[in-house]
Amino acid sequence: MDLKIENKRVVYPFSVGIDSETGMMDDYDVHIERWLKDITKMFYDENAAIKYLNKHGNIKIYEVYEKGIPEIDGEVRFCSSITYPGKIGDEYFMTKGHFHSRPDTAELYYCIRGHGYMLMERENGDYVIEEMYPGRAVYVPGYYAHRSINIGDEPLISLPVYPGDAGHDYGTIEQKGFKHLVVDKDGKPSIIVNPYYKE
């Protein structure tokens, strides 16, 4: 059988290690870091984000290690996703979140460390939240935007796995936001409606 070739690159069988303490991959092609300065607008209380920056300086909110697997039908892409503990105002640190560019594609997240929520929300605002903790797998069906939220006090580490041709649509969430947010209320995570959500 022919090996798949994309960008003149042959995909050979491989394996990779993911450190269960740090989430670091021992062999990766892409490393994405999201720092507060770059994503202040993702937090609903942008003033709190600016205050945080002025008081404490920049901070890493989350990062991702991944292998450069071709973004084509038939492939399976995966990464190590690490969201750090903390809050901006009363909102927990979280990933930007996105729909898939091919919106019908699903995703499976396997949680390795920490305690969090997976927020899944449809374009009409319907939402579901599933808890993430070590050993727990969360299935994100197609047509749901998804975001990992760290509600604990250690890094939230997970292994997301998704179809090669899923793609990432960040623009919709950047413009509209999620309708639902997870905030700390009296020391407990609580779901609120985003006051700035654009229908």
- Rounded to an integer, what distance in angstroms lies between the CA atom of residue 48 and that of residue 89? 5
Nearer to ligand PAN, 148 or 150 (CB): 148
For position 162 contacting ligand PAN by CB under 6 A, the verdict is yes
* Phi, psi (deg, nearest 5) at residue 54: -65, -35
Q: Which residue is nearest to Zn ion (CB)?
A: 107
Choose the binding region for Zn ion from 28-36, 80-88, 105-113, 172-180 (rule: CB under 5 A). Answer: 105-113
For position 132 contacting ligand PAN by CB under 6 A, the verdict is no
- Rounded to an integer, what distance in angstroms lies between the CA atom of residue 141 and that of residue 90? 28
For the bound state, the minimum distance from the C-beta of residue 2 to ligand PAN, rounded and expressed in Å, comes to 27
Among 122, 103, 117, CA closest to 147: 117
- Rounded to an integer, what distance in angstroms lies between the CA atom of residue 169 and that of residue 1? 34
181 strand-pairing partners: 192
Pairing of strands 107-113, 156-163: antiparallel
For position 66 contacting Zn ion by CB under 5 A, the verdict is no
Choose the binding region for Zn ion from 10-18, 51-59, 66-74, 101-109 (rule: CB under 5 A). Answer: 101-109
Which residues of the chain form contacts with ligand PAN (CB under 6 A)?
64, 79, 81, 95-98, 107, 146, 148, 160, 162, 166, 168
